[in-house]
């Protein structure tokens, strides 16, 4: 178990050199909406005032030390985020309580609930998993508290059946969730009972009344606003199929890599200024508060006797404070450089800016990691964050489909931005390169000379994990559901152990494997690259029906594979696990008994496998390794996995009465 994992009631001291924290609350049920919140408490375990309650309707504390950053949907699942600036927390605040709530269903229906606290580099400082929420609708996951001058994190695990309003009230927040309309009606009625005094009603209209009417005192409203959605406008006046609409972001004339980067950066910042929910999604990933966003291109800054010019500057104004991030952008196969990022960190620290944000096609092996390691001493006052272009596209698509966009023009702008980024000339669309060590490692595996201690193999392992994340994000964006890359929990937050596990398997068996969990499919999608045979396999294990003969179970599967390729491998596993049979789908179609001849017992599961040649090139072309992996996964999902439905047992038959005849209820097999 990782040392960062906490049990209920356990605490851990936070490092003294950590000034800012990222707080993530995650859950398993993609259909449930959960919201994070925080309360700043004094020595009496009560808020000092309503401004100490930070949540979706009040996204920042009065001193800006705690901020609600909102929801994001990643390949890791849904998550809500908060940021905490420990240095800015007032001296009379002794504790920050971290909570989650749902206005829809009990939190026990959310699946696995987790709290994770990270530092500015994405390193996990503490983690708490819980299944104690049961029927509660609000839940305190943990608290960050002072003890003898040291900040600590404690896992709490306490629920409230009364929901967010009840939880907030118990900590001293004045909650007023009365409907606005009811309050307005009370004021107008009171005005109508008086006369001859000139005031205005709740809508601003003049009313003649005879005595002064005070509007009832308002507390904090915990009712969540309901966003309205609009569709992207469609052009309907074209005179024929050949009429092409004008594009907001044109790909015409994109030439050099420098020009590509400038156009992508400008398009990103302009879209963020025009579409505020999208700006919020991107800025929240960098730790920004909710507020007015502005973006600037290539701002020069003095450093020593020279200048540094980042690709862009992001600024967000909130409550009298301006949050700032310096932006470094790469497109295509462009790589981020340590020296350049450290120069920006130095400038940001001197000017008291909060973040240096990098955007490139590099996809780190895990959420929150950065592709370039910098001097950690430069991160004491400034955070370094990274977003891949795949994640930018993902956020744009999710904002368009599920965000609070109410303006048709904004919908059109965001759709044009997505169209631009997904064009190959934008340089921002795909995972493009397995890295400079790929060919050497591939050839070593083929020759049988690769050993687990090879540093080059570690580099390839990291890149493979990044490609696995890329596959998950591609499916998430294409399907509109959260697709997760499955890793053992002992490896998910331990990069060193994770890489060593992959390298050892690569050295001993020549295999690279990724497992993707796609909601509502009959089985996980496993993609495996065999560097010894130069083959890529995509497969899924399907649980067989538990009723009917072995032949009927085979027939059940065949009915669902009518559009699957004839060379698909169909493997049947029987009750006795040593009894396994495998045939091509074309053979099973011709003779369903071919899978069961000579076998005893019932079929317990099927494994379906598609095998294609592995691309040899490290990057770029259709003959490349990356293309062979992504195309294999895409085709397998579309033709095999998506049409498959898990077997569902038939409903119980009614109990026959003595005078009734035989039941004609069928089990569907």
**In terms of pTM, does the model score above 0.75?**
no
- Give the contacts of 385 (CB within 8 A, at least 6 positions apart): 122, 285, 286, 287, 325, 355, 356, 357, 358, 370
Query: Which DSSP symbol is given to 148?
Result: T
For residue 625, give the nearest of 535, 520, 540 by alpha carbon: 535
Q: How far apart are CA 455 and CA 436, in angstroms?
A: 12
What spatial distance separates the first Cα and last Cα of the chain, rounded to whole Å? 44
Structural contact between residues 371 and 337, judged by C-beta atoms closer than 8 angstroms: no
- Give the contacts of 499 (CB within 8 A, at least 6 positions apart): 365, 458, 461, 462, 465
- Give the contacts of 194 (CB within 8 A, at least 6 positions apart): 209, 210, 211, 213
Query: How is the chain split among helix, strand and coil, in percent rounded to 5?
Result: 30, 30, 45
The structure tokens listed for 89 are: 């927390």
Instruction: Output phi, psi for 467, to 5 deg.
Output: -65, -35
The hierarchical CATH code for the domain 257-426 is: 3.40.1350
DSSP helix/strand/coil, 136: coil
Q: How far apart are CA 247 and CA 425, in angstroms?
A: 14
Task: List Cβ<8 Å contacts ≥24 apart for 629-632.
Answer: 629/467, 629/471, 629/527, 629/529, 629/536, 630/470, 630/471, 630/474, 632/527, 632/536, 632/537, 632/538
Q: How far apart are CA 283 and CA 357, in angstroms?
A: 10
Q: Where in the chain is the domain with CATH 3.40.1350?
A: 257-426
Q: Where in the chain is the domain with CATH 2.60.60.30?
A: 5-170
Looking at residue 319, its pLDDT comes to 67
DSSP helix/strand/coil, 172: coil
Looking at residue 136, its pLDDT comes to 79
CA count, 13 A, side-chain hemisphere, 371: 21
Structural contact between residues 136 and 107, judged by C-beta atoms closer than 8 angstroms: yes
The structure tokens listed for 49 are: 């005032």
Q: How far apart are CA 39 and CA 57, in angstroms?
A: 13
Q: How far apart are CA 516 and CA 479, in angstroms?
A: 13
Looking at residue 117, its pLDDT comes to 92
DSSP helix/strand/coil, 48: coil
Q: What is the DSSP annotation of 260-308?
A: HHHHHHHHHHHHHHH-HHHHHHHHHHTTPPSSEEEEEES--EEETTEEE
Query: Which residues in the chain land under pLDDT 50?
Result: 1-2, 180-216, 663-669
Give, in order, the Cα–Cα distances in Å from 46 to each of 34, 50, 67, 121. 24, 10, 19, 32
Instruction: Output phi, psi for 285, to 5 deg.
Output: -65, -25
The structure tokens listed for 46 are: 């009560």
The hierarchical CATH code for the domain 5-170 is: 2.60.60.30
Give, in order, the Cα–Cα distances in Å from 650 to each of 4, 443, 545, 546, 647. 45, 52, 10, 11, 9
The structure tokens listed for 237 are: 């006046």
Q: How far apart are CA 421 and CA 264, in angstroms?
A: 8
For Cα atoms 335, 491, 357, give the angle at the middle one, nearest 5 degrees.
30
The structure tokens listed for 577 are: 């696990």
Buried b (16+ CB within 10 A) or exposed e, 624-662: bbbbbbbebbeebbeebbbebeebeeeeeeeeeeeeeee
């Amino acid at each position: 178990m990782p040392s960062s994992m906490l049990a209920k009631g356990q605490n851990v001291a936070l490092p003294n050199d950590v000034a800012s924290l990222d707080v993530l609350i995650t859950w398993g049920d993609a259909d449930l909406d959960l919201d994070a919140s925080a309360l700043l408490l004094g020595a009496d375990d009560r808020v000092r005032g309503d401004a100490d309650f930070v949540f979706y309707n009040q996204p920042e504390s009065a001193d800006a030390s705690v901020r609600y950053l909102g929801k994001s949907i990643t390949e890791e699942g849904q998550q809500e985020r908060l940021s905490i600036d420990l240095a800015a927390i007032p001296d009379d605040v002794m504790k920050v309580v971290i909570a989650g709530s749902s206005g829809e269903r009990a939190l026990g229906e959310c699946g696995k609930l987790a709290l994770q606290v990270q530092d500015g580099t994405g390193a996990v400082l503490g983690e708490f998993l819980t299944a104690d929420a049961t029927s509660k609708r609000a839940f305190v996951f943990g608290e960050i508290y002072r003890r003898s001058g040291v900040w600590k994190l404690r896992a709490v695990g306490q629920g409230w059946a009364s929901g967010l309003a009840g939880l907030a009230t118990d900590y001293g927040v004045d909650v007023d969730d009365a409907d606005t309309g009811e309050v307005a009606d009370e004021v107008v009625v009171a005005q109508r009972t008086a006369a001859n005094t000139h005031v205005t009603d709740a809508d601003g209209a003049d009313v003649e009344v005879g005595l002064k009417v005070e509007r009832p005192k308002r507390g904090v409203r915990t009712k969540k606003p309901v966003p309205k959605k609009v569709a992207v406008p469609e052009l309907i006046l074209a005179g024929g199929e050949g009429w092409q609409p004008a594009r907001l972001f044109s790909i015409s004339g994109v030439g050099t890599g420098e020009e590509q980067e400038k156009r992508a950066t400008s398009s990103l910042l302009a879209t963020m200024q025009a579409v505020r929910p999208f700006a919020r999604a991107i800025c929240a990933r960098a730790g920004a508060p909710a507020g007015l966003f502005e973006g600037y291109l290539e701002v020069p800054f003095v450093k020593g006797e020279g200048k540094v010019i980042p690709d862009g500057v992001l600024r967000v104004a909130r409550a009298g404070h301006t949050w700032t991030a310096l932006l470094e952008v790469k497109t295509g196969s462009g790589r981020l450089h340590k020296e350049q990022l450290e120069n920006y960190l130095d400038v940001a620290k001197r000017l008291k800016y909060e973040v240096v944000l990098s955007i490139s096609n590099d996809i780190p092996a895990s959420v929150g990691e950065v592709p370039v390691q910098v001097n950690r001493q430069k991160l004491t006052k400034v955070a370094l964050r990274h977003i891949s272009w795949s994640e930018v596209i993902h956020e744009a698509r999710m904002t368009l489909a599920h965000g609070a966009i109410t303006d048709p023009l904004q919908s059109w702008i965001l759709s044009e931005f997505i169209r631009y980024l997904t064009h190959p000339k934008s340089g921002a669309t795909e995972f493009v390169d397995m890295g400079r060590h790929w060919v050497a490692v591939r050839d070593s595996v083929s020759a049988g000379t690769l050993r687990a201690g090879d540093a080059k193999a570690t580099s390839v392992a990291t890149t493979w994990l990044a490609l696995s994340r890329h596959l998950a994000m591609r499916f998430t964006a294409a399907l509109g559901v959260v697709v997760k890359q499955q890793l053992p929990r002992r490896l998910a937050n331990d990069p060193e152990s994770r890489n060593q596990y992959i390298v050892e398997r690569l050295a001993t068996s020549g295999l690279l494997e990724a497992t993707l969990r796609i909601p509502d499919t009959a089985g996980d999608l496993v993609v495996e690259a065999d560097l010894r045979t130069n083959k890529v396999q995509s497969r899924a294990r399907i649980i067989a029906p538990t009723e009917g003969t072995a032949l009927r179970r085979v027939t059940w599967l065949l009915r669902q594979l009518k559009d699957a390729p004839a060379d698909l491998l169909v493997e049947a596993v029987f009750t006795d696990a040593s009894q396994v049979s495998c045939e091509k789908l074309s053979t099973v179609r011709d003779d369903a008994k071919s899978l069961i001849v000579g076998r005893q017992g019932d079929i317990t599961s099927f494994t379906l496998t598609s095998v294609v040649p592995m691309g040899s090139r490290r990057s770029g072309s259709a003959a490349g390794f990356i293309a062979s992996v992504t195309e294999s996964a895409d085709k397998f999902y579309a033709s095999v996995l998506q049409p498959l439905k898990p077997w569902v047992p038939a409903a119980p038959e009614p109990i026959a009465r003595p005078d009734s005849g035989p039941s004609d209820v069928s089990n569907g097999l």
